[in-house]
Amino acid sequence: MSRSAELGTQHNPLRVAIIGSGPSGFYAAEALLKSAPAVSVDMFERLPAPFGLVRNGVAPDHPKLKEAIFVYAKIAEHPQFSFFGNATIGHDVTVAELRASHHALVFCCGAETDRKLDIPGEELPGSHTATEFVGWYNGHPDYRNREFDLSSKVAVVIGQGNVAVDVCRILSKTIDELKHTDIAQHALDALADSKIREIHMIGRRGPAQAKFTHVEIRELGELADCDPVVNPDDLKLNPESEAELADKRNRSPIKNMEILSTFANRPAPTKRKRCYLRFLASPVELQGSDRVERLVLARNHLEGEPFKQIARETGEKIVLDCGLVFRSIGYRGVPMLGLPFDERRGVFSNRDGRVTEPDGSALPGLYCAGWIKRGPSGIIGTNRADSVATVKALLSDVERKSIDTTARPGADIIYPMLKARSVRVFGYPDWLKIDAAEIERGAPLGKPREKFTLIEEMLVALKMNRRFVDR
Ligand code: NAP
């Protein structure tokens, strides 16, 4: 075989490494495997189990959203697809090594860290990121050992995106509402003892600017033992917000306002718990002697033209006593050695998915898709079009021969490398066995699955005593 044969042929298949196995990773794999050239896709994932945010981020009581996994499982069956779980690119294998083994790399590694509030007291015990809590109740291996003190009466969630709504809902639901979901058992047990009765979700802007979507917010009005509470005065809008809502394309905020109005018009709350939706307030300080005892908020008003309104402090302060705080103000991507990073946006520097140098020139063979490309926005399905666009750019570079066409070994060289470095690689067949074992252990509890949260547990499930899992 000529080492520089036409790329994308049977003799010289286009070898692509995808880093990350969440939605954008699987949609990139799908687009590649459906494309015309002969392609081989090797997907690398830091965790042993695939599916990223669908497994570890989507709320356990939203099983419909997890059905995307069925689509990903079909993609994984493709004969030209291989999965390498528990292999961290940038640690177990370098980006340079992967560039030598594959023609192209598509980074689909999401936004793995949180934005910071940068206020005094942010790191006090009792103040957590939503990421930690979401990871904990979803059995994410990194967060399984986190502890949340649920013994106080008042919890605060800062931010008004859909993650904040998820956190509020999990804190608000009864155990009966959660026990038949795939919530991690350690979280269910802890939540069973929760003393939290008031949950305050705080938005820095007004109700017309809240980022949550109507389907999600509506659910807060349908809980067994928690009433949503909205102060009708908070729904009085300035002319700029009225103008935003007059734009019929602004669908979700219009529906949000309808739902918030029904909350505001409900009779006095009678249920055991209350979820307060509060607007126009920014956190300025978390206070407490050795843990969070209160949150100081600044009252805001809005300034700016419609759709560009920002929160400005009025000078008035509000003090809210609370024992637990979750900061849910959005995510950020994490830089990786060898890849230019856009610090302002928290994404890999890129143009249409092509990773770029600071001068704007594309780095040959390096691509990105999903949240590490565009930032943490959109729903699961948004990532399909995003990944398709990146793959289109990649294939056009193949066509234009701006990618080195020399034949590459792909994972045939990476797998032995991982083995030599004592990395326990989990292949897709291993995942299928783990998946079956999780489903089996969930059944007696009436749960769709009980996740394994430790590699050791997964290895036991695979009935393995050796270090490596063969492909
Ligand atoms: P998000 O939608 O961007 O919401 C972030 C929230 O934090 C906004 O309310 C934002 O207010 C606020 N915020 C940011 N900086 C702040 C600061 N310094 N002080 C106070 N508040 C601040 O982020 P997310 O909730 O993490 O969600 C990420 C993505 O995942 C979104 O696209 C979301 O729709 C999606 N998601 C979807 C679902 C679902 O479909 N069920 C579930 C979970 C997540 P401003 O608007 O003023 O910036």
Strand ranges inside 67-140, DSSP E: 81-85, 104-107, 113-114, 127-129
Ligand 1 centre and the CA of 159: distance in Å?
6
* Angle in degrees, CA 348, 110, 201, rounded to 5: 115
Residue of 118, 166, 211, 312 to test ligand 1 pocket, by largest number of atoms within 8 Å of CB: 211
d(CA 389, ligand 1 centre) in Å: 24
376 CA to middle of ligand 1, Å? 8
Distance 112 CA to ligand 1 centre (A): 14
Query: Of ligand 1's atoms, which has the minimum distance to the CA of residue 382?
Result: 32
Tens of each residue's pLDDT in the chain, 471 residues: 445 568 989 899 999 999 999 999 999 999 999 997 899 999 999 999 999 999 999 999 999 999 999 999 999 999 999 999 999 999 999 999 999 999 999 999 999 899 999 999 999 999 999 999 999 999 999 999 999 999 999 999 999 999 999 999 999 999 999 999 999 999 999 999 999 999 999 999 999 999 999 999 999 999 999 999 999 999 999 999 999 999 988 889 999 999 999 999 999 999 999 999 999 999 999 999 999 999 999 999 999 999 999 999 999 999 999 999 999 999 999 999 889 999 999 999 999 999 999 899 999 999 999 999 999 999 999 999 999 999 999 999 999 989 999 999 999 999 999 999 999 999 999 999 999 999 999 999 999 999 999 988 998 888 753 444 444
Q: 89-124: b or e for each residue (b if 16 or more CB lie within 10 Å)?
A: bbebbebeebbebbbbbbbbbbbbebbebebebbeb
User: Does residue 56 line the site of ligand 1, with CB under 6 A?
Assistant: no
For the Cβ of 203 lying below 6 angstroms from any atom of ligand 1, the answer is yes
Which residue has its alpha carbon closest to ligand 1 atom 1? 161
Q: Does domain 115-326 have CATH number 3.40.50.300?
A: no
Does residue 329 line the site of ligand 1, with CB under 6 A? yes
Question: What is the pLDDT at residue 2?
Answer: 44
Q: Is the CB of 164 under 6 A from ligand 1?
A: yes
- 16, 411 in Cβ contact below 8 A? no
Does residue 128 line the site of ligand 1, with CB under 6 A?
A: no
Is the shortest distance between the CB of 156 and ligand 1 below 6 Å?
no
> What pTM was estimated for this model as a whole?
0.95
Helix (DSSP H) and strand (DSSP E) numbers for the chain: 16, 20
Q: Which of 307, 283, 314, 10 is nearest to 156 (CA)?
A: 283
Q: Which atom of ligand 1 is nearest to the CA of 205?
A: 47
Q: What is the pLDDT of residue 4?
A: 55
- Distance (angstroms) between ligand 1 centre and the Cα of 330 equals 5
What would the two tokens of residue 175 be? 């155990």
Sequence spans of domains, the chain? 3-112+333-461, 115-326
SS3 call for 348:
strand
Pocket probe for ligand 1: among 138, 204, 277, 310, the residue whose CB has the most ligand atoms within 8 Å is: 204
Ligand 1 centre to CA of 379 (Å) is 12
Label residue 467 exposed, middle or buried (CB < 10 Å: 0-12, 13-18, 19+): exposed
The pLDDT value recorded for residue 469 is 44
Nearest CA to ligand 1 atom 2: 161
What was the pLDDT predicted at 233? Answer: 96
Question: Which of 65, 133, 137, 162 has most ligand 1 atoms within 8 Å of its beta carbon, as the pocket-test mutant?
Answer: 162
Any atom of ligand 1 within 6 Å of the Cβ of 205:
yes
4 alpha carbon – ligand 1 mean position (Å): 47
- Tell me the C-alpha distance between 126 and 254, whole Å: 35
Q: Which residues contact 222 (CB under 8 A, 6 or more apart)?
A: none
Inter-residue contact 83 to 76 (CB < 8 Å) = yes
Closest residue CA from atom 26 of ligand 1 = 330
- The response to whether residue 131 sits with its C-beta less than 6 Å from ligand 1 reads no
The DSSP output letter for 209 is G
One of 3.40.50.720, 3.60.70.12, 3.40.50.1000, 3.40.50.300 is the CATH number of 3-112+333-461, namely 3.40.50.720
**Rounded distance from Cα 23 to ligand 1 centre (Å):** 19
CB 414 within 8 A of CB 98: yes
**Candidate from 163, 286, 297 with most ligand 1 atoms within 8 A of CB, to mutate:** 163
Which tokens is 200 given?
């305050």
Q: Which atom of ligand 1 is nearest to the CA of 329?
A: 7
pLDDT of residue 249: 87
Residue whose structure tokens are 């959660």: 178
